[in-house]
Amino acid sequence: MKITSKILSLACSVAVGSLVASSISAQERVLNVTNWGEYIAEDTISNFEEEYGIKVVYDAYDSAEAIDAKLLAGSSGYDVVSHSGGMTARLIQAGIISPLDISKLDQLKNVDPAIMGQLANLWDPGNKHFIPYMWGTHGVTYNEELVKATYPDAPIGSMDMIFDPVHMKELSKCGVSFLDSPGDIIPMALAHMGLDPNSTNRDDYAAVGEMLAEVRPHIKTFDNYAYQQMPQKEFCVSVTWGPDGLLAMSGAAEADTGVVLDFSLPEGQGKSQLWIDGWVIPADASNKEDAHLFLNYMMRPEVAAADSNYTWYATANLAGKALVDEEVTSSPAAFPTSDQVDQMYTTAILPPKIKKLQTRTWTNFVAGN
């Protein structure tokens, strides 16, 4: 009987221990988040974890197309995803993005209403799925001294620097890089040719493909982070997102090697793109409750400002902008002026066949076909 009692007692202890362990495991809160690399302040995630006791599994990506494909395939494993407004629009239409519970997002009041209005008109009717994070444009970051030394006749600041094969041939001697981003480069090239950046005309893509094929031999690399090597004179011209141009300029100044960089936007009505990045919750997210908590946290003015100060990207948080360093807010590379924004185009949701055509145009361009 004593032996039996001990066995029963041990069995009960094991059972209770298993239940406790199971309960502890069940109570552990884990949030899976993915975002562009180097697109958040260094302590934003750790501060969130410390405040809420939630473990964040944070995954950085370097291709919008890759994360887009992962979401389209389903079962991405993410609870929160940073994505572009233009690309998210078709995911919303496909039911891949979960509607937000606005009652859990009291910090939404801090977001710029003008940006919310643009989102509602363009990609997210009713502002039901997408929380804006950063916004900006793209252009050309260049080393004017190196450019002039290499090619005195270079059209400084003009987009002919990157789209005219005659100029590109000369500038290739000091290094030219492009963004690895079809959603930016193809519309930008169409606009440069005087065509609709959201064209649904197949002939337009044939024309832009021919133009890009002529400059392809003179491009050293397609790299979203090539700007980081400009202070070392690895490139004299780089197509960059505006804030990355500002980071390159700052990096060159800090290196104190005599390298001076500048940034130029495509000039003219409808020549440069206005993009808006933000946060979404996938429909198949396993922890939507804490996902909302994270989104609300990210919209706090002090958090938004810290992220903007670290990345040098323009925050969509109007209350947070007041806390952003003047060096960032005063630069048109990071915060384009209202007049510049008024002239910018935004990307539209393209029909599937045209989207495939755009992708094929890009693939042929990069491959040099």
6 in the Ramachandran plot: left (φ > 0), alpha (ψ -120 to 50) or beta? alpha
- d(CA 185, CA 191) in angstroms, rounded, equals 10
What is the per-residue pLDDT for 234?
96
Angstrom CA distances, 25 to 21, 22, 33, 79, stand at 6, 5, 20, 19
- d(CA 211, CA 165) in angstroms, rounded, equals 8
Q: Are 314 and 134 in contact (CB under 8 A)?
A: yes
What is the per-residue pLDDT for 307?
99
3-state secondary structure of 68: helix
Neighbours of 314 (CB within 10 A): 25
Neighbours of 234 (CB within 10 A): 16
103 in the Ramachandran plot: left (φ > 0), alpha (ψ -120 to 50) or beta? alpha
What is the per-residue pLDDT for 222?
98
Prediction pTM value: 0.87
Q: Which residues pair with 132 in a beta bridge?
A: 278
Max alpha carbon distance in the chain (Å)? 101
What is the per-residue pLDDT for 75?
84
Give the pair of three-digit tokens for residue 10: 């041990």
What is the per-residue pLDDT for 244?
95
What is the per-residue pLDDT for 257?
87
User: What are the structural domains, with CATH classification, of the chain?
Assistant: 29-136+276-334 (3.40.190.10), 138-273+349-367 (3.40.190.10)
What is the per-residue pLDDT for 195?
97
What is the per-residue pLDDT for 38?
92
- d(CA 243, CA 313) in angstroms, rounded, equals 5
Backbone angles phi, psi at 237, to 5 degrees: -140, 130
Q: Are 109 and 293 in contact (CB under 8 A)?
A: no
Stretches in the chain below the pLDDT threshold 50? 1-25
β pairing state of 80-84 and 30-36: parallel
- d(CA 361, CA 75) in angstroms, rounded, equals 29
- d(CA 312, CA 298) in angstroms, rounded, equals 16
- d(CA 247, CA 251) in angstroms, rounded, equals 6
β pairing state of 237-241 and 176-178: parallel
